[in-house]
Amino acid sequence: MPRWIIIPATAGALFLLVPLIGLTSVVDWSRFISLITSESSLAALGLSLRTATASTLLCLIVGTPMALMLARGSFPGLRLVRALILLPLVLPPVVGGIALLYAFGRQGLLGEHLEALGIRIAFSTTAVVLAQAFVAMPFLVLSLEGALRTAGTRYEAVAATLGARPTTVLRRVTIPIVLPGLLSGTVLAFARALGEFGATLTFAGSLQGVTRTLPLEIYLQRETDPDAAVALSLVLVAVAVVIVASVYRRAA
């Protein structure tokens, strides 16, 4: 590795770390515990953790098969399908929220039929999960697809020639080989879901205890109590650091 790389690498690290240091420097530590343990703060944190977990599970259930299709499949329009699946990566979250609203809202493409059955999704906790999954799904798909392409198909081919069925090959060969990539994609999806704001606000609104996640609570507190917003921001950073560090440690 050339020595000159140290300079831009250090500059990049400082660019990411200095704002976090600035955040910790303005925390009102004398009120920190009372600020983060208020009723609204605990409700927002609990809702964020529950919905982020649910949306990550949803990403795993449907995102893993999508990554397998993109990495192992071969069919006309594959590049277009990949582009559409990864589209939420570049879309502003609020656009994703509007799209979800016109799909699952009361007058939406599917929402009006669900409404007739007594199922209401928009502006509910379910809407929070869907909004988070919409923006987080590409992170898991992209990470897992890359791991699958890097791993290749030689071990799967050997297992198939020995008589293993496709599902057995997937369970006993493919998944264990790409497990580090799957874990990385999962933690990226969880972290993205935990910090989701725009799509959640547009599609689910901000109802305390129902749809008001921690990022929404931070935004509201910023206008009324900046000290509370800073304290809750630090909590969100700490939760994200713990989760990312623990998962990447296991993956390593």
Amino acid at 11: A
Structural domains in the chain, sorted by start: 19-251 (1.10.3720.10)
Q: Which residue has better confidence, 218 or 241?
A: 218
Average pLDDT in the 26-54 region?
92
Q: Given a cut of 60, is residue 250 above it in pLDDT? A: no
**CA 199 – CA 205 distance, rounded (Å):** 9
Q: What is the pLDDT of residue 58?
A: 97
Digit-coded pLDDT (tens) for 222-248: 888 899 999 999 999 988 888 778 766
Least confident span in 14-28, 193-207, 230-244:
230-244
Digit-coded pLDDT (tens) for 152-161: 889 888 998 8
* Residues 165-177: b if buried by 16+ CB within 10 A, e if exposed: eeeebbeebbeeb
Q: Given a cut of 60, is residue 252 above it in pLDDT? A: no
Average pLDDT in the 140-165 region?
91
Name the nearest CA neighbour of 211 among 86, 100, 61: 100
Average pLDDT in the 9-26 region?
93
**CA 146 – CA 63 distance, rounded (Å):** 13
Average confidence score pLDDT of the chain:
91
Average pLDDT in the 169-182 region?
92
Residue 117 makes CB contacts below 8 A (sequence gap 6+) with none
* Residues 114-142: b if buried by 16+ CB within 10 A, e if exposed: bbeeeeebbbbbbbbbbbbbbbbbbbbbb
Model pTM?
A: 0.91
Average pLDDT in the 133-161 region?
92
What is the DSSP code (8-state) at residue 143?
H
Digit-coded pLDDT (tens) for 58-117: 999 999 999 999 998 888 888 899 999 999 999 999 999 999 999 999 889 999 999 888
Q: Which residue has better confidence, 245 or 208?
A: 208
Q: What is the pLDDT of residue 77?
A: 87
